[in-house]
Amino acid sequence: MNFFRIPQPKAFILLLAFAPLVSAQPAAAPVPANSPPPYLDEASSQAVVVGANVAFSIPPDLSPGATYQWFFNGQPLTDGANISGAKSYKLSLANVQLTNDGVYTAKSGTNGGVDSGPAVLAVSATPPPDQPTGIPEKIFDVSGYNAVGDGATDNTAAIQAAINAAHAAGGGVVRISPSGLTSPSSPAVFLSGPLTLYSKINFRIESDTVLRLLPRSSFGERGAGSAMISASNASDLIISGHGTIDGQGADWWAAYRASGAARPYLIRLNSCSRVLVEDVSMKDSPMFHLAFSGNGSNLTALGLTVTAPGNSPNTDAIDPSGHDIYIAHCNLSIGDDNIAIKGSSVHCANITVTNCTFGAGHGLSIGGQTNAGVENLVATNCTFNGTTSGIRLKADPTQGGLTQNISYSNMTMTNVQYPIVLYSYYIRVGNPGVASGSNYITPARAAHDNASILADGFAAFFTNSGGTVRNRQANAYSVWKNISFSNITSTNGKGYNVIWGLPGYLVENVTFNNCQFSGDYGFEVYDATNVQFTGNTTVTANKSAPFIVGYPAGDADANNVTNSLVISSQPASQTVKAGDGVEFSVTAFASPAATYQWLKNGTPIAGATEAKLKIAKAQAADAADYSVTVTNAIGAATSSSAKLTIGK
């Protein structure tokens, strides 16, 4: 099949068009704000708000009898409603809705068809972060700077020369691709060392192309934080294409295990703004794969595939830092955190994670450094399969801060060892969900660790279980509050779910609504208040009690620490006939012991101070909303309301 390029038409918002044939030409007019990058060889992913108009394109096949078919999540599309061009090289979607969110592909050609790379359409109810804008369309193909995709030539200087030329020209598309306009039978492999990107660059790695890090023997020793691809304080920057970035990490991992040798990241973008990383595959980074570090803003990651062996050290997939961050439709399976939001030195806020798939790894994490704070995270519609941890919030007294207003919803976890872990003992304990061994957090162990901290007054040093002593940063206490989980389903979990704060710095206001947890072990809750299980939430534990809350009676350490307040079962609404008896009840786990006060339409009921409320003969005047406030020495929690309806 012969592909030909046509001159790019004037771009309009969210329209994908074609790149021109010539590699060196006058720059076109800037792309309007919030438009996608200029089209080259594949349809590109997009993040849009509900109501936008969207178009995807592939190169037109000018062969006689050529056909086209677009697909949505693997199913063929037909014209109608808001869809047109389902059998054309250009697919148009008008007034997109949340139901249009997904993956679009196309098949074209006369001999069995050629599949395009997947293009993600991420649709959100609120506008996504600002997208890169004003990137000139002039193409700087690295082959024009003597780069060779033979898998042997060091192309560092050639690729950097193309980047520098684009930078000197005011920006452009730096293109790494197989030679000419046709694809070879096997991928073109371009070896390279460290590369530096600048503002208004679209660094594009096309299909059938691999950008591979030089072997460790050629790359040389570099300090922590160096990277194969880096940028600092850049704006309007894109890394795109359906090619692969390969870190060749095996030798680096071996050297790290042997001697702690420093390792580079694959991509590190420091304090950059209006950044889009889309469609590329990343694999086997020596260390972190994609790090948005520093005080970045308006950062988008769409349709990424990131893979590394499950035992590869510190190979985080995506580590975002900054504010206004959007991560969607990414497939992440690595050896450490799949996503780790690190508010270590920069306050992190306004982050969305949606429609992502998590394989091997340590899950969707916040921390272990939260000194500057993390807030306003919305994570939804994600799946976890075989992940070590599902949702993991971690810090400790050496590197803690305020984490608040966090929402997780519509998630499915299968064979996740520790579905939910939220704790303030990261350095000392590592992963607290185990059911045996030195890190098994029994009530006595929790009491002991808390008491030891209180005994030294949160001293200037903190020692982990391996004996490492770390300096504690001033006021670096971890605080977790206002965290919600809804419609979470976890099956076949193998370890405990853990919620564990610090004495005096309790976990506060955690809600599980309509969640189902089934596995070997239930929940351990220590140093947390107003933890509530609401709606149709169930906890099924095969080898433990569903809830372990409180320190052992008579334990000496328990006299020195505060503990927890959990409502595990809410009052249920009822409809009865006049004259029938009614009983409302609540199940609470509290340490120290709790008192109860029932409320009718928010007003305390005199004498109603037990875990159960009984109405002997309900009358019309008893129809109301009933709730109960459970109080102990560390706080109070008010249950959900239960409605009493008096029928005839």
| Residues forming a β-bridge with 489 | 412, 516
- Residue keyed to tokens 């109301």: 624
Give the Cα separation of 41 and 202 in Å (integer): 14
**What's the CA dihedral at 508, 511, 515, 517 to 10 degrees?**
20
Pairwise pLDDT comparison (455 vs 623), residue with the higher score: 623
Give the Cα separation of 465 and 454 in Å (integer): 18
pLDDT of residue 551: 59
- Phi and psi torsions of 257, nearest 5°: -65, -35
Give the Cα separation of 214 and 222 in Å (integer): 13
pLDDT grade, residue 552 (50/70/90)? low
Cα 538 off chain centre by: 25
Region 254-260 average pLDDT: 94
HSE, side-chain direction, 13 A CA sphere, residue 129: 27
Checking if the pLDDT of 149 tops 90, the result is yes
Could you report how far apart the first and last alpha carbons of the chain are, in Å? 76
pLDDT grade, residue 38 (50/70/90)? very low
Q: What is the pLDDT of residues 328-372, one digit of tens each?
A: 999 999 999 999 998 888 999 999 999 999 999 999 999 988 989
Checking if the pLDDT of 81 tops 90, the result is no
Closest CA to 359 of 335, 380, 384: 384
List domains and CATH numbers for the chain: 570-647 (2.60.40.10)
Give the Cα separation of 393 and 369 in Å (integer): 10
HSE, side-chain direction, 13 A CA sphere, residue 563: 27
SS3 sequence of 441-477: CCHHHHHHHHHHHHHCCCCCEEECCCCCEEECCCCCC
Region 482-507 average pLDDT: 94
Give the Cα separation of 381 and 58 in Å (integer): 29
Checking if the pLDDT of 112 tops 70, the result is no
pLDDT of residue 554: 53
Region 271-293 average pLDDT: 97
Residue 316 annotated among the catalytic residues of the structure: no
Give the Cα separation of 615 and 611 in Å (integer): 14
| Tokens read off for 254 | 């071996």
Region 179-188 average pLDDT: 59
- Out of 336, 449, 527, 557, the active site residue is 336
pLDDT of residue 648: 76
Pairwise pLDDT comparison (1 vs 166), residue with the higher score: 166
Residue 336 annotated among the catalytic residues of the structure: yes
Omega before 368 within 30 of 0, i.e. cis? yes
Residue 76: how many other CB atoms lie within 10 Å: 11
Instruction: Classify strands 318-328 and 281-283 as parallel, antiparallel or unpaired.
Output: unpaired
Checking if the pLDDT of 23 tops 50, the result is no
Pairwise pLDDT comparison (212 vs 463), residue with the higher score: 212
- Residue keyed to tokens 């939260």: 370
pLDDT grade, residue 217 (50/70/90)? confident
Region 268-281 average pLDDT: 97
Q: What is the pLDDT of residues 404-440, one digit of tens each?
A: 999 999 999 999 999 999 999 887 787 888 988 888 8
Residue 8: how many other CB atoms lie within 10 Å: 15
Predicted TM-score (pTM) of this structure: 0.89
Q: Could you give the percent of the chain with pLDDT greater than 70?
A: 85
Q: What is the pLDDT of residues 311-336, one digit of tens each?
A: 999 999 999 999 999 999 999 999 99
pLDDT of residue 101: 96
- Residue keyed to tokens 């919620």: 499
- Out of 101, 236, 362, 396, the active site residue is 362
pLDDT grade, residue 111 (50/70/90)? low
Q: What is the pLDDT of residues 46-68, one digit of tens each?
A: 999 999 999 998 888 777 778 89
Checking if the pLDDT of 14 tops 80, the result is no
pLDDT of residue 456: 59
Checking if the pLDDT of 27 tops 90, the result is no
Give the Cα separation of 257 and 312 in Å (integer): 10
Region 204-225 average pLDDT: 83
Pairwise pLDDT comparison (114 vs 212), residue with the higher score: 212
Q: What is the mean pLDDT of the chain?
A: 87
